[in-house]
Amino acid sequence: MQACAIASLLFPILPSALSAQTPSIDSLQEQIRKIAAGAHGKVSVACSLPGSTLNCDLDPHAHPPMQSVFKMPLALLVLHRVEQGTLSLDQQVRFLPTDRILPHAYSPLQTKYPEADVDVPLRELTRLSVSLSDNVAADILLRLVGGPAMVNAYISSLGIAGFHLQDGENAMHHDVTLQYRNWFEPAAAVQLLRRMSDNSPLTSENTKLLLSWMHGSMRAKRLEGDLPEGTFVAHKAGTSDVDNGIAHATNDIGLITLPDGRKLAIAVFVTDSIAEEATREKVIARIGRAAYDAGARTH
Query: What does the H/E/C string look like for 117-173?
Result: CEEEEHHHHHHHHHHCCCHHHHHHHHHHHCCHHHHHHHHHHCCCCCEECCCCHHHHH
Alpha-carbon dihedral of residues 221, 129, 67, 42, nearest 10 degrees?
Answer: -20
β-bridge mates for residue 253, sequence order: 236, 267
Indicate which residue of 44, 48, 68, 217 is catalytic: 68
> Which DSSP letter does residue 103 get?
S
Residue spans of alpha helices (H) in the chain: 3-10, 15-21, 28-36, 71-84, 108-112, 122-131, 135-145, 148-157, 169-174, 186-198, 204-215, 277-296
> Taking a C-beta distance cutoff of 8 angstroms, is the pair 160, 18 a contact?
no
> Which DSSP letter does residue 58 get?
B
Asked if 68 is an active-site residue, the reply is yes
Q: What are phi and psi of 211, to 5 degrees?
A: -65, -35
Candidates 130, 124, 150; CA nearest to 211 is 130
- Residue numbers annotated as active site: 68
